[in-house]
Amino acid sequence: MRIHLVAVGERMPAWVAQAYGDYAGRLTGECSLMLREIPAQRRGKKADLSRIAREEGERMLASVPDGCLVVALDEKGRSFSTAELARQLDQWMHSGRDVALLVGGPEGLTDAARARADLVWSLSPLTFPHPLVRVIVAEQLYRAWSLLRGHPYHRE
């Protein structure tokens, strides 16, 4: 199964690319994590933020591969414990479908992106910087996978 992390923003700081790459690289072929970056539009003082968010959301949805189960990351979504996320990951892996995880830009996800989602997942009620979300998602997916495989990374 492939998990496509579809995220708004490019040219992340080196520490983001390094941390994301470290955790994504630990996942095996049975569950690989691939990043699809959506270029963020320029936001000036008088930018039309609703238009920008809508256009970024449209490009994000257009980049979701056909047949994917779509999961939107949003603070109003469902929270998972590590064990619950591991069970969810196991279900995804046995579904026969790839998964697309949507991470919005500074304005968050559009209503259209949330409506397209099969599941809305909340990492936390806290708001995280979007670059950090990539790292958290990669680490949590690796942790869930390691729990499923009995790997010692996750200790209960």
On whether residue 29 sits in a domain, the answer given is yes
Average pLDDT per block of 10 residues along the chain, 156 residues long: 93 93 92 93 80 89 95 94 96 96 89 94 90 95 94 71
In a domain, 130, yes or no: yes
Q: Is 123 flagged in the annotation as binding? A: yes
- Is 141 annotated to bind a ligand? Reply is no
- The encoded tokens of residue 13 equal 């700081």
**Residue 128 annotated as lining a ligand binding site:** yes
In a domain, 156, yes or no: no
pLDDT of residue 156: 57
Residue 89 is predicted with a pLDDT of: 97
Please tell me whether 80 is known to bind a ligand. no
Confirm or deny that 69 is annotated as ligand binding.
no
In a domain, residue 154? The reply is no
Range of the domain at 128: 2-149
SS3 call for 124? coil
Q: Is residue 115 part of a domain?
A: yes
- On whether residue 26 sits in a domain, the answer given is yes
Residue whose pair of structure tokens reads 């942790």 in the numeric block = 143
Count Cα atoms within 13 angstroms, Cβ side, for 130. Answer: 19
CATH number (domain holding residue 49): 3.40.1280.10
Q: Is 73 annotated as a binding residue?
A: yes
- DSSP H stretches of helix in the chain: 14-26, 49-62, 82-94, 111-116, 130-148
Q: Which single residue is written with the structure tokens 């992340």?
A: 12
In this structure, what is the dihedral angle of CA atoms 7, 45, 51, 58, given to the nearest 10 degrees? -20
Number of domains making up the chain:
1
| pLDDT at residue 108 in the model | 84
Backbone angles phi, psi at 71, to 5 degrees: -120, 120
126 is in an annotated binding site: yes
The reply to whether 32 falls in a domain is yes
Any domain includes 155: no
Tell me whether residue 152 is annotated as binding.
no
Tell me what pLDDT residue 77 has: 93
